[in-house]
Amino acid sequence: MAKITYIDPQGARHEIDLRPGMTVMEGARDNDVPGIVAECGGACACSTCHVYVAEGWADRLPPMDPMEEDMLDFAPGVEPGRSRLSCQLTVSEALDGLVVEVPQEQA
């Protein structure tokens, strides 16, 4: 299991234990984290699961593929180096302790 902390647009923290193989988006969706709409269900075909990755984590995540980069063009409030689509982040023990913040624009 990996503990992922989501900070919703109102500033509330949601600490959720997720099993490896899930995505960070699935964890948010399945646990009703506000602001993660996930309209495409994880197909990387929208940007409604946009999150900001906490400082110190960006370099520990797998690199973005071109499709994710393209979809981020549609997300409001993109912050280079921090913005990711949570559907593209697969949970593993290496992500234990990851903190992501849901943008205010998704409230």
Q: What residues make up the domain containing 65?
A: 2-106
C-alpha span between 107 and 105 (Å, rounded): 6
- What's the number of domains the chain is made of? 1
**Structure-block tokens of residue 56:** 């110190």
Q: What is the pLDDT of residue 64?
A: 95
- Neighbouring C-beta atoms of residue 34, cutoff 10 Å: 15
The pLDDT tens digits of the residues spanning 36-63 come to 999 999 999 999 999 999 999 999 999 9
Q: What is the pLDDT of residue 106?
A: 82
Can you give the pLDDT of all 107 residues of the chain as single tens digits?
A: 999 999 999 999 999 999 999 999 999 999 999 999 999 999 999 999 999 999 999 999 999 999 999 999 999 999 999 999 999 999 999 999 999 999 998 86
C-alpha span between 90 and 77 (Å, rounded): 23
Side-chain-side CA neighbours of 96 within 13 Å: the count stands at 6
DSSP assignment of 16-55 equals: EEE-TTSBHHHHHHHTT-TT---TTSSSSS--TTEEEEPT
Look up residue 23 and give its amino acid.
T
Phi-psi map region of 104: left, alpha, beta (phi>0 left; psi -120 to 50 alpha):
alpha
pTM above 0.75, yes or no: yes
- Which CATH number goes with the domain that contains 84? 3.10.20.30
CA 79 vs CA 32, 83, 84: distances in Å: 24, 5, 9
Q: What is the pLDDT of residue 105?
A: 85
